[in-house]
């Protein structure tokens, strides 16, 4: 699933693919934003993405993006 995180005062958003469930990700984000703690997510390659919870502007949790190769017509 694709996760997009917009951080305050940053010119680019963070985009990662994760194997975590949308509910698990939402719980982690809610906890980090409410408490101002660090948000740590793991992408599908095992890399950690660490974001300060107090600086999160918005998060978009998307569906699985499997099969997005080549040219697509929508």
- Report the SS3 class of residue 19: coil
Query: What integer pLDDT is reported at residue 35 of this predicted model?
Result: 94
Listed in sequence order, the residues at least 6 apart from 18 whose beta carbon sits closer than 8 Å to its beta carbon are 1, 2, 3, 25, 41, 42, 43, 44
Query: What integer pLDDT is reported at residue 66 of this predicted model?
Result: 57
Domain boundaries, the chain: 2-61
Return d(Cα 46, Cα 65) in angstroms, integer: 18
Supply 3's token pair. Answer: 């996760």
Q: What is the mean pLDDT of each run of 10 residues along the chain (74 residues)?
A: 93 92 94 94 93 94 66 60
For the domain spanning 2-61, the CATH number is 2.30.30
């Amino acid at each position: 699933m694709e996760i997009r995180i917009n951080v305050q005062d940053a010119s680019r958003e963070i985009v990662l693919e994760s194997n975590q469930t949308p509910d698990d990700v939402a719980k982690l984000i809610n906890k980090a934003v409410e408490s101002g703690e660090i948000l740590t997510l793991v992408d599908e390659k095992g890399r950690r993405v660490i974001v300060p919870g107090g600086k999160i502007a918005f998060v978009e949790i998307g569906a699985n993006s499997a099969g997005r190769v080549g040219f697509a017509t929508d």
